[in-house]
Amino acid sequence: MVRQILHLDLDAFYATVEMLLNPALRGKPLIVAMGDVNTRGVVATASYEARKFGVHSAMGLREAKRLCPQAIIVPARHKIYSEHSARVMNLLREMSPRVEQVSIDEAYLEIEAERDGVAAAREIQRRIHEELQLSCTIAVASNKLVSKIACNTVKPRGFIVIPNGDEEKFLAPLPVGKIPGAGHVTRAKLKAKWNVETIGDLARVPIEELRAEFGKNGAYLADAARGMDDSPIITDRATKSISQENTFDRDVRTRDVLEKYLDEMCAGVARELVAEELKARTIILKLRYEDFTTMTRQVTLRAPMADETIIRKHARELLQQHWDTRRAVRLLGVGVHNLVEIEGTWQMELQMGE
Ligand code: TTP
């Protein structure tokens, strides 16, 4: 099954939002600063006009001012950026339910095979520009790794498509440092041992040698060099947790009563998991005593499940092990997290259609 993965990154995000709120700043070298706006602060981001002078994120303001004395410096306003980011993410979720937000200004999105992924990507870029007045760069590829690397090669206001089958060819001329995780230690070793500079050089190193040098990471590097990556989109639904809790009218001292409530809540949690097409690996018990001290205890299973009996068994065991029976219970709760999505219906249809 060929996937259509979009990687989207907003351009000079904080600076673009500042320009949106104050159009007089447009087209000017602009620095959004964190910390002290005068000298001790650092550059959170710089507009592309300021980047021409060598200013970049994480640089000290003193140095940034030296490189670009005419830059306008404004303090970062995180709350405002979060609001604009949320609008972008909501727009993406309108375009596909499979959205993975990576950071405040970056996301992956998967488009179903029966839709045209490139047309969807174009529409997203147009809508972000017209409806939200923000500019972004989008790459379309068959997996997350290639779309992420491709996106960075065409910033800002870029658009790039890597057709399925062209991944390795596209990556070959790029510096090996473009592979996420290939930091300076890895790069130095690759250079010293095999004279690797580009991703293409890396693809020529035998996999066994990479394994011997880097262990599991070696296998990752070998796959990455060939443009291979099968990591799934992790949606927000999968990162949340599902829980129920009950505050008692009167503090409870009897195990039977606690277990009765616990069983009911376990059933409720299991129902919600099934309804959301999710499975969970971790079961959590929450206890609040009469004096308001609260504790949570959890157990993590080997495999994800959505089974009421399993949740109940573990929740009861946690209660058995951790409830200090000398103390009355004011609140009891049970929850699950470490959620994974059961393959959604459209994905199953796709696999059957293959
Ligand atoms: P980035 O996506 O790294 O950069 P950017 O959006 O400013 O520019 P571009 O992607 O076009 O190169 O970061 C997103 C935002 O996160 C950025 O606008 C400001 C903030 N940020 C910091 O606060 N400190 C940092 O060191 C970095 C790298 C980013």
Q: How far is the CA of 58 from the centre of ligand 1 (A)?
A: 9
Pick the CATH number of 242-353 from 3.30.1490.100, 3.90.920.10, 3.30.43.10, 2.30.29.30: 3.30.1490.100
Q: Over its length of 354 residues, how does the chain's per-residue pLDDT go in tens digits?
A: 899 999 999 999 999 999 999 999 999 999 999 987 777 899 999 999 999 999 999 999 999 999 999 999 999 999 999 999 999 999 999 999 899 999 999 999 999 999 999 999 999 999 999 999 999 999 999 999 999 999 999 999 999 999 999 999 999 999 999 999 999 999 999 999 999 999 999 999 999 999 999 998 999 999 999 999 999 898 877 777 899 999 998 999 999 999 999 999 999 999 999 988 889 999 999 999 999 999 999 999 999 999 999 999 999 999 999 999 999 999 999 999 988 877 544 443 333 332
106 in active site: yes
Structure tokens at 171: 């990556």
Model pLDDT, residue 350: 38
Q: How far is the CA of 248 from the centre of ligand 1 (A)?
A: 48
Model pLDDT, residue 211: 95
Written as one letter, the residue type at 138 is I
Q: Where in the chain is the domain with CATH 3.30.1490.100?
A: 242-353
Model pLDDT, residue 343: 59
Q: Is 156 in the pocket of ligand 1 (CB under 6 A)?
A: yes
Q: Is 151 in the pocket of ligand 1 (CB under 6 A)?
A: no
Pick the CATH number of 176-229 from 3.40.640.10, 3.40.50.800, 1.10.150.20, 3.90.1570.10: 1.10.150.20
Q: Is 155 in the pocket of ligand 1 (CB under 6 A)?
A: yes
8 A C-beta contact, residue 49 and residue 26: no
Give the burial class of 264: count Cβ atoms within 10 A of its Cβ; 0-12 exposed, 13-18 middle, 19 or more buried. Answer: middle
Ligand 1 atom closest to the Cα of residue 58 is 26
Helix (H, G, I), strand (E, B) or coil at 336: strand
Q: Is 18 in the pocket of ligand 1 (CB under 6 A)?
A: no
Written as one letter, the residue type at 315 is A
Model pLDDT, residue 29: 98
Give the burial class of 34: count Cβ atoms within 10 A of its Cβ; 0-12 exposed, 13-18 middle, 19 or more buried. Answer: middle
* Residue bearing the CA closest to ligand 1, atom 11: 11
Model pLDDT, residue 239: 74
Ligand 1 atom closest to the Cα of residue 32 is 19
Among residues 49, 106, 167, 341, the one annotated as catalytic is: 106
Q: Is 14 in the pocket of ligand 1 (CB under 6 A)?
A: yes
Q: How far is the CA of 189 from the centre of ligand 1 (A)?
A: 29
DSSP 160-218: EE--TT-HHHHHTTSBGGGSTT--HHHHHHHHHHH---BHHHHHTS-HHHHHHHHTHHH
Q: Where in the chain is the domain with CATH 3.30.70.270?
A: 1-164
What strands lie across the sheet with 294-305, from one edge to the other? 242-252, 329-341, 278-289, 294-305
Q: How far is the CA of 56 from the centre of ligand 1 (A)?
A: 9
Structure tokens at 180: 């996420």
Model pLDDT, residue 141: 98
1-164 falls under which CATH superfamily? Reverse transcriptase/Diguanylate cyclase domain (3.30.70.270)
Q: How far is the CA of 159 from the centre of ligand 1 (A)?
A: 19
8 A C-beta contact, residue 17 and residue 136: no
Q: Is 13 in the pocket of ligand 1 (CB under 6 A)?
A: yes
Report the Cα 38 to chain-centroid distance in Å: 33
Q: How far is the CA of 73 from the centre of ligand 1 (A)?
A: 16
Mutate to test the pocket of ligand 1, among 18, 31, 57, 159 (most ligand atoms within 8 A of CB): 57
Ligand 1 atom closest to the Cα of residue 9 is 10
* Residue bearing the CA closest to ligand 1, atom 1: 12
Q: Where in the chain is the domain with CATH 1.10.150.20?
A: 176-229
What's the whole-model pTM score?
A: 0.76
